């Protein structure tokens, strides 16, 4: 999957999912560390929607950053990552680096407390696609 296809996949996924993979704190607000690759209720984040289901440990919700995944760190809730991470990011070539950069920015926009819903996230995702010289879906 190249960067354009990744953008289109994430966008379509969130239109269908209709919610962000965030956990509200006790005050009903989102904290900066509340994003999960897959939330306890099964919602996925911008990177989580690209991680194959067989890599998730259903007993533990997964959280962390894409950087942690790429560095091979043990990320709670995701198993056997070293074997499959290249399938998600496409390797170290120029397109793989472009895709990694796009995914890191998309994850950041999903995770920020300023992004409150899917409509805001898709708007930000579309802006990132434009900045990344991808064909923006209208």
Per-residue buried b or exposed e for 48-79, using 16+ beta carbons within 10 Å of the residue's own CB: bbbbeeebbeeeebbbbbbeebbeeeebebbe
110 has a pLDDT exceeding 80: yes
Task: Report if residue 136 sits inside a domain.
Answer: no
Distance CA 68, CA 91 (A): 16
Phi (first) and psi of residue 78, to 5 degrees: -125, 120
Q: What's the number of domains the chain is made of? A: 1
The DSSP symbol for 112 reads S
Report the predicted TM-score, pTM, of the whole model to 2 decimal places. 0.77
Q: Which residue has the tokens 């969130």?
A: 14
Task: Report if residue 44 sits inside a domain.
Answer: yes
- Contact partners, residue 82, CB within 8 Å, separation at least 6: 72
Task: Report if residue 138 sits inside a domain.
Answer: no
Q: What percentage of the chain has pLDDT greater than the value 70? A: 63
69 has a pLDDT exceeding 90: no
The pLDDT confidence band at residue 1, using thresholds 50, 70 and 90, is: confident
Task: Report if residue 27 sits inside a domain.
Answer: yes
Print the domain residue range for 47: 3-131
């Amino acid at each position: 999957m190249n960067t354009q296809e990744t953008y289109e996949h994430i966008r379509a996924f969130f239109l269908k999912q209709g919610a962000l993979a965030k956990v509200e704190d006790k005050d009903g607000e989102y904290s900066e560390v509340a994003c999960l690759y897959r939330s306890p209720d099964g919602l996925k984040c911008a990177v989580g929607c690209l991680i194959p289901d067989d890599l998730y440990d259903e007993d533990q919700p997964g959280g962390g950053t894409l950087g942690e995944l790429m560095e091979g760190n043990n990320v709670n809730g995701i198993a056997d990552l070293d074997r499959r991470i290249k399938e998600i990011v496409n390797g170290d070539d120029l397109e793989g680096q472009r895709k990694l950069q796009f995914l890191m920015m998309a994850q950041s926009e999903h995770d920020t407390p300023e992004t409150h819903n899917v409509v805001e996230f898709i708007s930000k995702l579309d802006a990132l696609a434009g900045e990344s010289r991808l064909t923006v879906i209208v």
